[in-house]
């Protein structure tokens, strides 16, 4: 897909971070909580004279943090939250998330651990051997041509249920688009891609291709293998084909469709993991917009019909004794559903509201010592990666007006069929459409989260013989993600005038997760046209003190140019530029024209960042 890599951005715009709310209650652990921008800690006392204290915090775990937890281990980034003595309740939610991971999780291997196999929070990176030995010092490490490699076994937790991509062999849509020159039935159209609106290549006759989309259905999963073979039997990699409308006509007459460009070829076995997982999850129904089939320009200058699949997160409630004496944990009052369905959050809430609460003793030993934690799985969530969700939705939203303007222009000014070309290879015609068949565009309907399978709502807990209301989970009232203790750090982007696009260069300050870890990083830029941007794409606040541009000539002589805007970045003086989730800032330098020509360009950046799951975050933000 065009520009589809690891897009790490925000859900929508995050407001300024609020103070943490430390709420003390007597006999009530479910106060009214409003306008929460961060985590809430509720400390409960049974009365004002005797204070066996406990607190309830909800965490959302994904990636390796989740896999280790269900296998009785703690990964490094969760040690600070769930470390010490903890026990996980082996309920139906726990059993099903383990079943999903064991059946459909991908094994962790290689020499490097990155966000692709790690954390919902994004682009975490670390040598896999180092990470493995932090989890378990007994894991053996051996040397290979790729560097240090840990000896990992999937059945010991080195497996994650992560997102994937499914090739959708939609023959009917391909015939409609490539042979009949018509928008396929059931598809909506966006006149452009997630990278930008469509553009004229030859005004009135040729423009860059649009994006087609619809909801994935159960019919797409039925008889998949037969349709897969049939589609590939008619597919053609068109990197060097269809260079003109006559070639396009020839290809249609031969019945050859543009290849998916997703690594599929005749004789290659289907990668079943994403398909099998989808079939399992959707065995009792597939909700609208759980997965979106996207027809769009693909790699190899062809066309693709694909759907992005979802990862699985585990939502847990953690009951912790924060007092200095043991407390007697009695029965919990729990509403539960065991429906093995995919559904939206509101549907889960309705099922739980209709359920009759039952009493369960979840902690057979009874006494919970100071510092001990009881981890209770309550829900399985199926998210789109926040990075993917926000990058796509914001890009389509930002480009919608421009995409509709060019559609209107094409519909009213063109007289002959319009040829649509690949935006990265504009001599490569994909298909054609008559001006009268250019429907009004629609932004793809992406749903951030679905839920699946067993779910609990804990309504009350008995502590030292007193029944307390249990703090209820509200998905809008906390931001705690797997990898939260590490974060992903800010990103540097450079502007590319050829194409009018911003290019992701690299992240910086990885692991500088507090003021006392503040440091300076030096990064080499892959390209530089005079403009640079910092983006905060994670659940964190970036505190950037200084940015300096360094130009190095062939003899190693360097010239430095401190940033002139934003002014907070001009000197290392503690006056920080603060960027929240989804925010960005263009950095400007006082550079002579062409000063960077023929030079190697570096950036020196000083600062730190605070993951939003870090309690120290909620100090005031100036």
For residues 585-613, average pLDDT: 84
Mean pLDDT of all residues in 43-60? 61
Q: Residue 478's pLDDT is what?
A: 32
**Whole-number pLDDT of residue 421:** 87
CB of 241 closer than 8 Å to CB of 298: no
What sign has the CA pseudo-torsion 361, 365, 369, 372? Answer: negative
Residues 6 or more apart in contact with residue 488 via CB below 8 angstroms: 8, 115, 121, 122, 123, 124, 507, 510, 537, 538, 540
- Report the run of H or E that residue 81 belongs to, with start and end: helix 76-82
Answer whether residue 572 is part of any domain: yes
**Are 330 and 465 in contact, with CB atoms under 8 Å apart?**
yes
Name the one residue in this structure whose structure tokens are 């079939």: 279
Specify the 3-state DSSP secondary structure of 474.
coil
Least confident residue range of 88-97, 107-116, 465-474, 492-501: 107-116
Residue-level pLDDT at 255 = 47
At 386, the pLDDT band (50, 70, 90 cuts) reads low
Q: Give the separation between CA 401 and CA 403, rounded to whole angstroms.
A: 5
Q: What is the pLDDT of residues 506-559, one digit of tens each?
A: 777 866 777 888 888 888 888 888 888 888 766 567 889 999 999 999 888 999
Comparing 9-13, 309-313, 386-390, the range with the smallest average pLDDT is: 9-13
Residue 328 counted as domain residue: yes
- For residues 442 and 211, the answer to whether their CB atoms sit within 8 Å is no
- What is the residue-wise DSSP string for 187-200? -EEESEETTEE--E
Supply the pLDDT for residue 3: 34
Q: What pLDDT does 235 receive?
A: 55
Q: What is the pLDDT of residue 163?
A: 82
Query: Looking at residue 257, what is its pLDDT?
Result: 55
Burial (CB < 10 A; 0-12, 13-18, 19+), residue 86, is middle
Highest mean pLDDT of the ranges 48-52, 62-66, 179-183 = 179-183
Determine the Cα–Cα distance for residues 236 and 166; give it in Å rounded to an integer: 19
Return mean pLDDT, the chain.
Answer: 75
Say whether pLDDT at 446 is over 60.
yes
Query: How far out from the chain centre does Cα 376 lie?
Result: 24
Say what the pLDDT of residue 112 is. 59
The verdict on 87 and 224 lying in the same domain is: no
Range 359-383 burial, b when 16+ CB lie within 10 A, else e: eeebbeeeebebebbbbbbbbbbbb
Q: What is the pLDDT of residue 609?
A: 79
Same structural domain, 365 and 419:
no
254 and 368 in a single domain? The answer is no
pLDDT at 88: 87
pTM: 0.65
Per-residue pLDDT at 206: 93
Same domain, 263 and 228: yes
Q: What is the mean pLDDT of residues 167-171?
A: 86
Query: If you compute the radius of gyration of the chain from its CA atoms, what whole number of angstroms results?
Result: 27
Total count of domains within the chain: 3
Residue 578's pLDDT is 85
pLDDT digits 0-9 by tens, 104-150: 988 776 665 654 333 333 345 667 788 778 777 888 888 877 678 88
CB 37 within 8 A of CB 539: no
Between 248 and 10, whose confidence is greater? 248
Task: With a cut of 50, say whether residue 1 has pLDDT above it.
Answer: no
Q: Please determine, for residue 284, whether its predicted confidence score (pLDDT) is greater than 90.
A: yes
Distance CA 423, CA 407 (A): 16
CA distance 272 to 170: 17
Residues in CB range of 551: below 8 A, 6 or more apart? 558, 559, 560, 561, 595, 596, 599, 600, 601, 602
Nearest CA-CA partner of 463 in 366, 375, 324, 336 = 366
* Whether residue 267 has pLDDT greater than 60: no
- Residue 224 DSSP label: H
Give me 16's structure tokens.
């300024």
Task: Write down the pLDDT at residue 471.
Answer: 58
E-strand stretches of 203-245 = 206-208, 211-215, 235-236
Name every residue whose Cβ is closer than 8 Å to that of residue 507 and which is 6 or more positions away in sequence. Answer: 123, 488, 489, 490, 491, 492
What is the tens place of the pLDDT at every residue in 187-222?
999 998 878 899 999 999 999 999 999 999 999 999
In this predicted model, what pLDDT tens digit does every residue of 231-247 receive, in sequence order?
766 654 444 444 455 55
Categorize the per-residue pLDDT at 330 as very low, low, confident or very high, splitting at 50, 70 and 90.
very high
CA distance 1 to 4: 5
**pLDDT band at residue 73, thresholds of 50, 70 and 90?**
confident
Same domain? 321 vs 190? no
Helix axes 272-281, 92-104, angle to 10 degrees: 150
For the record, the structure tokens of 566 come out as 């934003």
Q: Residue 562: which pLDDT band, with cuts at 50, 70 and 90?
A: very high
Cβ-in-10-Å burial (0-12, 13-18, 19+) of 9 comes to buried
Q: Name the one residue in this structure whose structure tokens are 């937890």.
A: 69
Q: Please indicate, yes or no, whether residues 358 and 412 belong to a single structural domain of this protein.
A: no
Where is pLDDT greater, at 381 or 7?
381
Residue 1 lies in a domain: no
Chain centroid to Cα 166, Å, comes to: 17
Token reading at 575: 């006056």
The pLDDT score that the predictor gives to residue 93 is 96
Residue 3 Ramachandran class (φ > 0 left, ψ -120 to 50 alpha, else beta): left
Q: Is residue 16 part of a domain?
A: no
Q: Are residues 253 and 217 in the same domain?
A: yes
Q: Report pLDDT for 347.
A: 94
Window from 146-155, 328-337, 413-422 with minimum mean pLDDT: 146-155
Q: Are residues 110 and 193 in the same domain?
A: no
The answer to whether the peptide bond before residue 400 is cis (omega within 30 degrees of 0) is no
Do 463 and 530 belong to one domain?
no
% of the chain at pLDDT higher than 90 = 27
In a domain, 9, yes or no: no
Question: In the 3-class helix/strand/coil scheme, how is 498-561 assigned residue by residue?
Answer: CCCEEEEEEECCCCCCCHHHCEEEEEECCCCCCCEEEECCCCEEEEEEEEEEEEECCCCCEEEE
Q: Tell me, yes or no, whether 187 and 278 share the same domain.
A: yes
Q: What is the DSSP letter of 243?
A: -
Q: Tokens standing for 5?
A: 């890599």
List the domain range (segments joined by +) for residue 249: 166-309+385-433
260/206: higher pLDDT = 206
DSSP string for residues in 547-603: EEEEEE-TTS-EEEEEEEESGGGSSSSS--EEE-TT-EEEEEE---TTTTTT-EEEE
Instruction: For 441-458, give the DSSP string.
Output: P------SEEEES-EEEE
Q: Which residues pair with 506 in a beta bridge?
A: 492
Number of other CB atoms surrounding residue 75 within 10 Å: 26
Backbone φ, ψ for residue 316 (5° rounding):
-125, 145
Cα–Cα distance, 292 to 1 (Å, whole number): 14
- What residues have CB less than 8 Å from 528, skipping those under 6 apart? 494, 596, 601
Average pLDDT over residues 301-325: 84
Task: Pick the more confident residue, 592 or 267.
Answer: 592
Is a pLDDT exceeding 50 seen at residue 479? Answer: no
Instruction: Give the whole-angstrom CA distance, residue 591 versus residue 518.
Output: 28
> Are the beta carbons of 295 and 305 closer than 8 angstroms?
yes
The answer to whether residue 2 is domain-embedded is no
Asked if pLDDT for residue 334 goes beyond 90, the answer is yes
**One domain for residues 278 and 180:** yes
30 located within any domain = no
Tokens 């793809």: give the residue.
444
My answer on whether 304 and 412 are in the same domain is: yes
pLDDT at res. 154: 67
The yes-or-no verdict on residue 359 having pLDDT over 90 is yes
């Amino acid at each position: 897909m065009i520009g589809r890599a690891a897009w790490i951005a925000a859900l929508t715009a995050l407001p300024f971070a609020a103070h943490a709310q430390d709420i003390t209650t007597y006999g009530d652990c479910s106060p009214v909580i409003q306008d929460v921008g961060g985590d809430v800690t509720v400390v409960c006392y049974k009365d004002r004279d005797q204070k066996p204290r406990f607190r309830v915090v909800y965490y959302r775990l994904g990636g390796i943090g989740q896999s280790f937890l269900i296998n009785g281990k703690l990964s490094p980034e969760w040690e600070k939250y769930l470390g010490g003595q903890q026990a996980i309740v082996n309920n139906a939610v726990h059993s099903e998330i383990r079943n999903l991971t064991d059946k459909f999780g991908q094994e962790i291997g290689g020499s490097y651990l990155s966000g692709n196999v790690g954390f919902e929070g994004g682009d975490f990176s670390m040598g896999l051997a180092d990470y493995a030995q932090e989890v378990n010092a007994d894991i053996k490490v051996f040397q290979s041509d790729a560097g240090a490699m840990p000896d990992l076994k999937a059945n010991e937790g080195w497996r994650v249920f992560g997102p994937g991509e499914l090739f959708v062999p939609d023959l009917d849509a391909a015939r409609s688009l490539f042979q009949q020159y018509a928008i396929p039935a059931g598809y909506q159209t966006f006149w452009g891609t997630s990278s930008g609106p469509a553009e004229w290549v030859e005004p009135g006759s040729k423009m860059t291709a649009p994006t087609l989309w619809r909801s994935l259905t159960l019919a797409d999963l039925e008889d998949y293998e037969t349709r897969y073979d049939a589609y590939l039997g008619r597919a053609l990699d068109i990197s060097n084909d269809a260079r003109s409308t006559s070639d396009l006509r020839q290809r249609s007459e031969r019945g050859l469709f543009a290849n998916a460009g997703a690594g599929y070829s005749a004789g290659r076995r289907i990668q079943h993991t994403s398909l099998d997982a989808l079939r399992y999850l959707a065995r009792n129904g597939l909700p609208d917009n759980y997965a979106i089939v996207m027809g769009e320009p693909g790699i190899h200058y062809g066309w693709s019909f694909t759907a992005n699949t979802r990862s699985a997160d585990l939502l847990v409630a953690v009951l912790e004794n924060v007092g200095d004496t043991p407390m007697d944990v009695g029965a919990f009052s729990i509403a539960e559903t065991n429906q093995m369905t995919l559904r939206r959050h509101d549907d889960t809430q309705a099922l739980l509201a209709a359920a009759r609460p039952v009493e369960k003793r979840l902690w057979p030993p009874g006494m919970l010592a100071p510092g001990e934690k009881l981890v209770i799985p309550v829900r399985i969530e199926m998210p789109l990666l926040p990075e993917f969700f926000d990058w796509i939705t914001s890009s389509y939203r930002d480009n919608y007006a421009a995409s509709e303007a060019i559609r209107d222009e094409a519909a009213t000014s063109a007289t002959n069929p319009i040829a649509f070309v690949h935006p990265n290879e504009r001599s490569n015609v994909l298909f054609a459409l008559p001006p009268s068949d250019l429907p009004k565009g629609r932004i793809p309907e992406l749903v951030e989260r679905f839920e699946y399978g067993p779910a609990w709502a804990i309504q009350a807990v008995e502590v030292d013989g007193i029944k307390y209301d249990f703090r209820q989970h509200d998905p809008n009232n906390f931001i705690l993600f797997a990898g939260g203790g590490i974060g992903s750090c800010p990103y540097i982007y450079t502007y590319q005038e050829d194409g009018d696009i911003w290019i992701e260069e690299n992240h910086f300050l990885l692991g500088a997760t507090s003021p006392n870890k503040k440091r300076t990083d030096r990064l080499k830029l892959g390209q530089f046209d005079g403009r640079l941007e910092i983006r905060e794409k994670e659940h964190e606040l970036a505190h950037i003190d200084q940015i300096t541009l360094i130009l190095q000539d062939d003899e190693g002589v360097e010239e430095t140019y401190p940033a002139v805007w934003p002014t907070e970045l001009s000197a290392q003086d503690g006056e920080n530029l603060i960027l929240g989730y989804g925010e960005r800032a263009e950095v400007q330098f006082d550079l002579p024209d062409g000063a960077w020509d023929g030079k190697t360009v570096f950036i020196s950046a000083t600062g730190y960042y605070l993951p939003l799951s870090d309690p120290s975050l909620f100090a005031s933000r100036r």
